[in-house]
A and B are shown apart, each in its own frame.
Chain A
Amino acid sequence: MRVWVLHLGLIAVLFTAQYWLSPYLATNLARIMVLTVFAMGYNLAFGYTGLLSLGHALLLAAGMYAAGLPAQLWGWTAGPAFIAGIAGGGLVAAALGLLALRTAGVSFMIVTLMFAQAGFLTLLYFAPITGGDDGFAVAATSRTLLGFDLSADTPRFLAALVIFAVGLLASLALVRSPFGRTMVAMRENEERSRMLGYNPFTVKLAALTISGLYAGAAGAAYALLFGYVGASFATIQYSILPMLYVLLGGAGTTLGPFLGALLMFALIEAATGLTTAHQFIVGAALVALVLFAPKGILGTIRERWLRWLP
Chain B
Amino acid sequence: MAFGPFLLLALMEGLVTAAILALAAAGLSLVFGVMRVVNVAHGEFYMLGAVLAWAVTTMIPGPPALAFLAAVLIAPVLVAALAAAADGLILKRLNYDPEATIVATIGLLYILQQAALSLYGPNANPVAAPFEWRIQLPWFGYSGYKLFVVLAAGLVLLALWAFMTRTKAGLIMRATQVDRSTARAFGINVDRVYMGTFALGAGLAALAGVLIVPIQQAQYLMGHDPLLLSFIVVIIGGLGSLRGTLIAALVIGLSDGVISMFFTPTLAKILATLLVAMVLVFRPQGLFGARA
Contact B277 A294 (CB under 8 A): no
Contact A290 B38 (CB under 8 A): no
B: interface residue count bin: 35 or more
User: How far is it, in angstroms, between the C-alpha of A58 and the C-alpha of B266 when the chains are bound?
Assistant: 17
Determine if B66 is an interface residue (Cβ-Cβ < 8 Å).
Answer: no
Residues of A within 8 A of B132 (CB): none
Contact B280 A285 (CB under 8 A): no
A: interface residue count bin: 35 or more
Determine if B106 is an interface residue (Cβ-Cβ < 8 Å).
Answer: yes
A191 CB to closest chain B CB (Å) equals 12
Which of B14-22, B93-101, B152-160, B179-187 participates in binding chain A? B93-101
7 interchain pairs, CB-CB under 8 A: A103-B284, A106-B235, A110-B276, A110-B280, A111-B277, A114-B273, A125-B270
Q: Which of A270-296 contact B (CB under 8 A)?
A: 277-280, 282-287, 289-291, 294
Which of B111-119, B135-143, B163-171, B194-202 participates in binding chain A? B111-119
Q: Which residues of B contact A (CB under 8 A)?
A: 32, 38, 40, 90, 93-94, 97, 99-100, 102-104, 106-115, 117-118, 228, 231-232, 235, 239, 266-267, 269-270, 273-274, 276-278, 280-282, 284-286, 292
Contact A279 B235 (CB under 8 A): no
Determine if A28 is an interface residue (Cβ-Cβ < 8 Å).
Answer: no
Which of A3-11, A78-86, A116-124, A176-184 participates in binding chain B? A116-124
- Chain A-chain B contacts (Cβ-Cβ < 8 Å), number: 122
Contact B106 A244 (CB under 8 A): yes
A236 CB to closest chain B CB (Å) equals 7
DSSP class of A's interface residues: helix, strand, loop or mixed?
A: helix
* Residue from A109, A124, A283, A294 whose CB has the most chain B CB atoms within 10 Å: A283
Q: Which of A82-129 contact B (CB under 8 A)?
A: 99-100, 102-107, 109-111, 113-115, 117-118, 121-122, 124-125
Contact A114 B274 (CB under 8 A): yes
Q: Which of A230-255 contact B (CB under 8 A)?
A: 236, 240, 243-244, 247-248, 251
User: How far is it, in angstroms, between the C-alpha of A105 and the C-alpha of B98 when the chains are bound?
Assistant: 11
Contact A283 B280 (CB under 8 A): no
Known: A125-B266, A280-B111, A283-B109. A117 touches B228 (CB 8 A): yes
Known: A110-B231, A287-B107. A115 touches B270 (CB 8 A): no
Q: Which residues of A contact B (CB under 8 A)?
A: 52, 99-100, 102-107, 109-111, 113-115, 117-118, 121-122, 124-125, 236, 240, 243-244, 247-248, 251, 277-280, 282-287, 289-291, 294
Contact B108 A283 (CB under 8 A): yes
| Besides A278-B114, A294-B100, 13 other A-B contacts (C-beta < 8 A) | A99-B281, A110-B231, A110-B232, A111-B277, A114-B277, A118-B277, A247-B99, A280-B110, A280-B115, A283-B114, A286-B110, A290-B94, A290-B103
A24 CB to closest chain B CB (Å) equals 25
Known: A103-B284, A291-B94. A114 touches B276 (CB 8 A): yes
Residues of B within 8 A of A118 (CB): 270, 273-274, 277
* Residue from A102, A105, A117 whose CB has the most chain B CB atoms within 10 Å: A117
Residues of B within 8 A of A284 (CB): 107, 111
Contact A251 B99 (CB under 8 A): yes
* Residue from B97, B103, B108, B118 whose CB has the most chain A CB atoms within 10 Å: B103
Contact B273 A121 (CB under 8 A): yes
Contact A289 B113 (CB under 8 A): no
Contact B90 A287 (CB under 8 A): yes
What residue in chain A is nearest B36 (Cβ atoms)? A106
User: How far is it, in angstroms, between the C-alpha of A109 and the C-alpha of B231 when the chains are bound?
Assistant: 10
